[in-house]
Chain A
Amino acid sequence: MRVVRPFDPRLLRHVPALRRDVALLGLLGVGVALAVVVAAFGLSRFNLPLFACAFAVRAGLTSACGVVAARMAATVKEQLRRDLLEAVGRRGPGWLAGQRAGELATLTGRGLDALDGYFTGYLPQLVLSVTVPLAVLVTLTLNDLASAVIVLVTLPLIPIFGILIGWQTRAATERQWHRLSLLGGHFLDMVTGLPTLKAFGRARAQVEAVRKMADQHRSATMKTLRIAFLSALVLELVSTLSVALVAVPIGLRLLSGGLTLSTALLVLLLTPEAFIPLRNAGSRFHASMEGLTALDHAFGLLGTPVKRVAQVVEPPLHIEFRGVSVVYERTVALDDVDLTIADGDRVALVGPSGGGKSTLLSLLLGFVTPTRGEVLINGVSPSDVDFPLAWVPQKPHLFAATLAENIALSNPDASRASVEAAARAAALPHSLDIMLGERGHGMSSGERQRVALARAFLRDAPLLLLDEPTARLDMASEKAVVDATLRLASGRTALLVAHRPALLSVATRIVRVEHGRVVEMEPA
């Protein structure tokens, strides 16, 4: 079981701006501790003005702790958000593939907001649980040594019990975790699948299933909560008993006249104060776990920066695959592939889906690195090459911007006229000024493909990579796109993945990719 530290030292390393705030928080914590002692002192002597002032100062300083903590949260989130996105750029799209993209987007957005709870709820209590008990102990030592000793002995019980119960809770939650997440996700699954349930006339029958699963979720949750809430109860009982251990002898000595009322009051008012921040920190630790987990996750993703030296490559191009194999987790995408592409070659890649065609393109883009063998563009590995290429992927990403801005991605300095020309060449019917929604919401898959084509036109690059550029197009547009692709490809080096025969006329060579191997075919 991994031990979660209450304060991750990596925070100070990654966010140096935090150091000043940590120091400030410490100072405020000392201030609060002094105010606590002064307030108790005033009250024990029935000096109400002194008490009221100290109490108000304490309230003010505690709030100031909260403000500093909240600002720390904002600073950390800002910095981590920037760093995480930089890590995306540094590690490249190959690293992002699949599940990780969604995870990262969530973490960078709402995920890091969980840090608010850690910083404003837990961290100030952590500071106070050091300064306040110390101040209380010092005051008690000066006024009544016997009570100070009892407090000193019983104080460590709080963190010890807190940790012991925390382990129990974690074990119980982990046992239940899979079940909880399955039951918790059930409702969303059912709601998402509602159209399907309706289509097969099974929707009404599932209402009871939804109720039953939600109820099972309730009883599973209650099982873990019973243990989790126990922690607060035990901590409270331990501190109550500790206070009693101090109070009973005090009462007896007061009765026998061995102690003045003001000293007795001071001790009795201060003793619980020593336990409160420790108890709060203990009971809030679980609530802040989510934030700490997000933090740990973020640091894991940041990794260590890798220096990349980009080399400039000039045409004529010479591309070589030498004994390249690419093995993904479960499948072999490419198996010992040798392929040479000369300048001006337009190579059509054909073969069944999943055969490895897209992997060939990803290798040239530097998104995927070969498991064995090497890929060289003019003798340089693609991930070290900095030269313009144009790429039409299967599922192009469109941005929440205007259509013109989406096209200009490939060449931000392009003039309006050249963007218009690119859009026309890609047979895009829309006005360039329409605003696209999130992830290009509102564009059909065929239109997306054409935006990607327009980008390629605007790029005017010596190397073209096209992944099924006509896949989702209707008949009329297919012809327009094939014509445009022909014009685009002439005089350039190109690799195009093609399912449809119409595109093969563009190619000078046809290569069949199947089961991770390549076979050169006669041009049609």
Chain B
Amino acid sequence: MIWRLVGAGLLGALAEAAGVALMGTAVWLLITAAEQPPITALTIAIVSVRALAISRGGFRYLERLAGHDAVLRIVTEVRARIFAHLIDRPLARHADALSRMVSDVDGVQDLVVRVALPMFASGLVCVAAVVTAALIDPLAGLVLGLGLALGGVVLPVLGARLIRRGALELAPLRAAHAIAVLDVVHGAADLAAYGATQRFQAAASLHAARLSAVERRLAVRSFALDAAGGTLSALTAVGVYLAAPDRGVWTAVLTIGALATGELTLNLLGAARKYAEISGSLARVRELTTPVAPVETPSGRPVRLCGVAVAGRLHDIDLDLAPGRKIGVIGPSGAGKSTLLSVIAGTIMPDRGHVIRSGDGVATGLMADAHLFHNSIRENLKLARPDATDAELVAAGDVARIALGNRYPLETLVGEDGAELSGGERQRLGLTRALLADPEVLLLDEPTEGLDPAQADDVLRAVFDHLGDRTVVLVTHRLTGLDSLGLDEIIVMDQGRIVERGPEGWMRAHLG
């Protein structure tokens, strides 16, 4: 991989060098030609001007291909490695955080193509130009070196600092604007119903105006640096001329060569700016690719929870999960029901208390964060049981009351996170997948959300009939229909605690 990158960098340097040499040779050719020497004295120069001109384009093309190929290979590796590391980490659930992470990874591309390669190529050619100039005339070489150091090191550092400061200023404004826009767009119905649309629009426009004002101000500063760079290379060329005024042809060659090299410092300025822009992304990627100690996934099927606590979310939970037991968990949202399921599944470790496990079975099912992949229904279902036949898939679908094969062919693409399906359809597919996994302890988090009450009761009854003597933990906010499922115990949770518990039928008597 490193050799691909070095290769791309060298190709880039060759392209830049060809450009500078082209200018120098052309000037030499012209001035020499003016003295009307025999044509043979010029042939080599004439041929090299053409060769340099064509090879500059060729090298540039090859460099861009090689660079992009190398960087895409790196991104492939980074993606695979980050994915492997994410498996061992607790996950950020927020969708925005996830898509930001994905675009962070793309920042690696810019690091190579728009920062590292141009810096390497332009830097190398600058050094080579200084050495060549010094061989022709040491003083001219010194002047060129100073000019390039100013334009190629000092200006880029300033440029990067400007970008960083600008980003600090813009980031909060961008965020505020984004939130204001989000409120107007996603809250459009609420705003329209209460006639508040214009008020919120005005607020969002104010944010946009502030953002634009800062952008305008930053533009002036940033382009002042460009102007400084251009002026600096003109001054350097004049300095080189003054340093070696009486070397005939070579004075002109040095002067024009210095000008051509000066243009390269603008590449360095651009690269430095880009680096400042993406440095935040890169830091986050670095953090993500640092290995962490893998989370120990507990083995064995859970049988009993004793005094389990998760800081701030669960307190002092005792639960008997003996084989074949069926437990219903109800309670308001935020009561800790989903956290309880995660503890049973082993994806969240209790801070206190313990989960007693035995044998080699697992606990899983339809969890709160169930995701449908942008793929066919078949592939989504086979995730739970890779060797399942189509007939088995359809049979499981029948239990969850989704007519796979007929109304929903197995080839149907579900869209991004199941966007092509309705909420009820997504839920029933997730349920089908949980049934196919057929774990020792089946966990169901709100399996009938998005279904109307009659459908919901029907689906739950069918699922429980199908399950026979499997262990089940069912989380729901619906009370009706719970009584006829044959639950061994119903527990009521509130604020992370079990506030009441009792056998089936108790609930109705209790609530009267």
Chain A residues in the interface with B (C-beta under 8 A):
43, 46, 48-49, 51-52, 55-56, 58-60, 62-64, 66-67, 70-71, 73-75, 77-78, 81-82, 85-86, 88-89, 92-93, 96, 101, 104-105, 108-109, 120, 182, 185-204, 206-208, 210-211, 214-215, 217-218, 221-222, 225-226, 229-230, 232-233, 236-237, 240, 243-244, 247, 251, 254-255, 257, 261, 264-265, 268, 352-354, 365-367, 386, 388-389, 391, 393, 396-397, 399-400, 409-412, 438-439, 444-446, 452, 455, 459, 472-477, 499
Contacts and interface: CB of A to CB of B under 8 A. Distances in A.
Contacts of B91: 194-195
Interface string B338-354: 00000001010000000
Interface stretch (B99-107, B118-126, B402-410): B99-107
Residue of A89, A105, A200, A412 with highest tally of chain B CB at under 10 A: A200
A412 B183 contact: no
B34 A261 contact: yes
Interface in B467-511: 477, 479, 494, 511
Contacts of A77: 208, 211-212, 215
Nearest to B423: A353
B132 interface: no
Given A194-B91, A233-B57, A96 B185 contact: yes
A81 B205 contact: yes
Interface string B41-83: 0100010011001101110110011001100110111011001
Given A196-B370, A236-B57, A397 B80 contact: no
B383 A197 contact: yes
Interface stretch (B2-10, B174-182, B390-398): B174-182
B296 interface: no
Nearest to A458: B194
A294 to B, nearest CB: 14
Contacts of A71: 216, 219
A236 B167 CA distance: 35
A52 B237 contact: yes
B451 to A, nearest CB: 7
B374 interface: yes
B509 to A, nearest CB: 15
A196 B374 contact: no
A108 B184 CA distance: 11
Contacts of B181: 81, 85, 105, 108-109
Interface in B89-114: 91, 95, 98-99, 101-102, 105
B230 A59 contact: yes
B311 interface: no
B283 interface: no
B208 A63 contact: no
Contact of B30 (A51, A59, A261, A352): A261
B464 interface: no
Nearest to A191: B98
A246 B502 CA distance: 97
B105 A233 contact: no
Q: Main SS of the interface on chain B?
A: helix
A272 B212 CA distance: 37
A49 B241 CA distance: 11
A367 B383 CA distance: 41
Contact of A255 (B33, B179, B182, B197): B33
Given A55-B234, A268-B30, 17 more contacts: A67-B219, A67-B223, A71-B216, A74-B216, A82-B205, A89-B191, A105-B181, A214-B76, A251-B30, A255-B33, A261-B34, A365-B193, A389-B193, A438-B179, A438-B182, A444-B332, A499-B453
A399 B186 CA distance: 10
A437 to B, nearest CB: 9
A217 B72 contact: yes
A8 B511 CA distance: 68
Interface string B442-478: 0000000011111100000000000000000000010
B186 A439 contact: yes
A94 to B, nearest CB: 9
Contacts of A400: 179, 183
A198 B384 CA distance: 11
Nearest to B451: A353
A233 B227 contact: no
B334 A60 contact: no
Interface in B348-401: 362, 364-365, 367, 369-374, 383-384, 386
A409 B60 contact: no
A385 B500 CA distance: 51
A410 B234 CA distance: 64
Central interface residue in A46, A93, A96, A411, by most chain B CB within 10 Å: A93
A229 B65 contact: yes
B147 interface: no
Contact of B36 (A49, A74, A255, A396): A255
A59 B231 contact: yes
Contact of B72 (A55, A191, A218, A446): A218
A21 to B, nearest CB: 11
B270 to A, nearest CB: 11
B192 A89 contact: yes
Contact of A190 (B34, B83, B197, B233): B83
Given A193-B373, A255-B33, A397-B190, A88 B185 contact: yes
28 contacts: A51-B234, A52-B237, A59-B229, A62-B226, A62-B227, A78-B205, A88-B184, A89-B188, A101-B188, A185-B416, A191-B101, A199-B347, A200-B433, A204-B87, A211-B76, A211-B77, A217-B76, A222-B72, A226-B65, A230-B61, A240-B57, A254-B36, A255-B36, A352-B455, A354-B422, A399-B187, A439-B183, A459-B194
B123 to A, nearest CB: 22
A240 B189 contact: no
B373 to A, nearest CB: 5
Contacts of B56: 236, 240
Contact of A412 (B54, B199, B416): B199
Contacts of B69: 218, 222
Contacts of A185: 374, 416
B26 interface: yes
Nearest to B436: A200
A70 B212 CA distance: 10
Nearest to A58: B230
Given A59-B231, A196-B370, A474-B332, A255 B39 contact: yes
Given A62-B226, A66-B223, A93-B188, A409 B33 contact: no
Nearest to B334: A444
Contacts of A352: 452, 454-455
B54 A397 contact: no
Contacts of B26: 247, 268
A63 B241 contact: no
Most chain A CB within 10 A, of B31, B64, B76, is at: B76
